[in-house]
Amino acid sequence: MEQELPLRLKAMELAMKKLDEEGLFALNQARNSVCILVEVMPPEKINTNIAFRLNNRSSIV
């Protein structure tokens, strides 16, 4: 589990990043009005780190 979870989170983050690069999250709306997340529950600090990597820091409230 300790090795599997980081690998799966990285795969999900990479998939979301690729979709973002293809413009999926900018369809019918400005990209800066969309926040992309990959999270684990219960919440952990890694959620914030991933959010910062996937989004413009100024768009995250």
Query: Following CA atoms 16, 19, 20, 26 in sequence, which dihedral angle do they give, to the nearest 10 degrees?
Result: -130
Find out whether 44 and 17 touch, Cβ atoms under 8 Å.
Answer: no
Cα 54 to Cα 27, 30, 36, 58, distances in angstroms: 17, 15, 6, 12
Cα 6 to Cα 40: distance, rounded to the nearest angstrom: 11
pLDDT tens digits, 29-48: 999 889 999 999 999 999 99
Short-list 37, 38, 39, 34, CA closest to 59: 34
Q: What confidence tier does 60 reach under pLDDT thresholds 50, 70, 90?
A: low
Q: Which residue has the higher pLDDT, 56 or 16?
A: 16
pTM of the model: 0.82
